[in-house]
Amino acid sequence: MKWKCSVRLIILWLIMMNLNACIYEDIELKQYLGELIFNDASLSRDGTQSCASCHEADRAFFDPRVNATSLDASTPGAVSLGQDDIALGDINSPSIAYVAMTPEFHFDEDAGVFRGGILLNGRTPNVLVQARLPFLSALEMQTTEAEVVAKVEDSYGQLMEYLYGDDVFDSVATAFDAVADSLAEFEKSDQMATFDSKFDKALVGDELLSDTEQRGLALFMDEEKGNCAACHPVPTADSLDVDSLFTDFGYTNLGVPKNNLVRSLNGRGLGFVDEGLFDNNEVTDVDLKGAFRIVSLRNVAVTPPYMHNGVFADLETVVHFINSRDVPGALNPETGLPWQAAEVDATKNTNEIGDLGLDAEEVSAIVAFLKTLTDERYESFIEE
């Protein structure tokens, strides 16, 4: 009896091992398919734009291209052009490295706040749901599910059938779901989350932060100084991956000004107001108007311009803004003018933001620290 039982266990174990091996390989193949689809410009209406056009792998998965919405000749556009080279978005194309680790959009009962979700107002729960949208968006790839599926069947039909079943192309809906699934698997792959910045190396003792970087980190964490870690928590060597992204995934209104250049070019006009989190169907609290997701700061030094609408060209300006938004007479160093009013003024965060009393040297130390959050393969893009 005992003997029979252990044979059964061994067989069960063997089957499980085998199955595990299979699942593992399939995930890798799905990531591979997802990467091909991510980079495939033929999938947009005119065959000119892929996901990678606005999320370039060699550039921390953001859009480095200069266009009419650039604040100066060397800063990437504040927003991206659609595949027709005419349509202009209203939100800066974010770096999507690490983003798949964002928790699903939810209300955190303990803290009484919303957290997580994909897109900067969390209006899609996860990367799987989000991955369908750019194909269909009038501001992005401007195509249809049927068109995408036809092209994917042409180029990757066999691989799709192997991974998602021989009948995957029987319906457009099923095949389009599979396309989104492979993209989501690619976004969850290790290549999007390498955790090999100078900061990561310093955490485990493989590198040393310079004195200035170390000082920036201390100011970033000091509740009496930068207090940045209140919203952008600093990981420790024991943090789980999801706790290592320098965000608690909450939402707040930083009081970011409108990007008037973008609004004058994209047809929305200067009167338009983006209500941020309030536009999320699950949110009814008017105090959340103008709130945006607290973003990861990984690779922030190499992904200008800044804020959800790309209104600042330099990283240092962001820190100046958080430091001095509410200080009378404080100037935006990029315009030489006082900080513009917030797009949504009534709800802006005044507890943690706006008058920190950091001096210029402290601001640059924080910037030096932020540069250490750059993945190794993007370090050459850090500007001194």
**Residue from 33, 71, 78, 96 that binds ligand HEC (CB under 6 A)?**
96
CA 12 to each of CA 4, 26, 75: distance values in angstroms, whole numbers, following the listed order? 12, 21, 58
Residue 183 or 203: which CB sits closer to ligand HEC?
A: 183
Residue 27 or 113: which CB sits closer to ligand HEC?
A: 113
Residue 49 or 372: which CB sits closer to ligand HEC?
A: 49
* Residues 16-45 within binding reach of ligand HEC (CB under 6 A): none
**Residue from 88, 91, 97, 160 that binds ligand HEC (CB under 6 A)?**
91
230 near ligand HEC (CB under 6 A): yes
* Residues 105-144 within binding reach of ligand HEC (CB under 6 A): 118-120, 127, 130-131, 134-135, 140-141
User: Shortest Cβ distance from residue 18 to ligand HEC (Å)?
Assistant: 32
CA 236 to each of CA 73, 201, 241, 245: distance values in angstroms, whole numbers, following the listed order? 39, 12, 10, 11
Residue 166 or 224: which CB sits closer to ligand HEC?
A: 224
**Residue from 262, 318, 344, 373 that binds ligand HEC (CB under 6 A)?**
318
User: Shortest Cβ distance from residue 147 to ligand HEC (Å)?
Assistant: 13
88 near ligand HEC (CB under 6 A): no
**Residue from 30, 31, 35, 53 that binds ligand HEC (CB under 6 A)?**
53
CA 201 to each of CA 104, 205, 217, 373: distance values in angstroms, whole numbers, following the listed order? 29, 6, 15, 10
Alpha carbons 204 and 345: distance in angstroms, whole number: 42
**Residue from 70, 142, 143, 227 that binds ligand HEC (CB under 6 A)?**
227
Alpha carbons 261 and 249: distance in angstroms, whole number: 29
55 near ligand HEC (CB under 6 A): yes
Q: Residue 216 burial by CB count (10 A; 0-12/13-18/19+): exposed, middle or buried? A: buried
Tokens of 168: 């995957």
Alpha carbons 114 and 107: distance in angstroms, whole number: 4
Alpha carbons 241 and 244: distance in angstroms, whole number: 5
**Residue from 80, 259, 317, 332 that binds ligand HEC (CB under 6 A)?**
80
213 touches 369 (CB < 8 A): yes
78 near ligand HEC (CB under 6 A): no
255 near ligand HEC (CB under 6 A): no
Tokens of 57: 């792998």
User: Shortest Cβ distance from residue 315 to ligand HEC (Å)?
Assistant: 6
Number of residues that bind ligand HEC (CB under 6 A): 51
Site string for ligand HEC, 264-303 (x = CB under 6 A): ----------------------------x-xx-x--x--x
Alpha carbons 329 and 186: distance in angstroms, whole number: 48
Residue 41's closest CA among 55, 29, 52? 52
Alpha carbons 261 and 267: distance in angstroms, whole number: 11
* Residues 334-363 within binding reach of ligand HEC (CB under 6 A): 349, 352-353
117 touches 130 (CB < 8 A): no
Residue 293's closest CA among 322, 256, 250? 250
Task: Write out the residues near ligand HEC by the rule CB under 6 A.
Answer: 49, 51, 53-55, 80, 82, 89, 91, 93-94, 96, 99, 118-120, 127, 130-131, 134-135, 140-141, 183, 187, 226-228, 230-232, 252, 254, 256, 292, 294-295, 297, 300, 303, 306-308, 315, 318-319, 322, 349, 352-353, 366
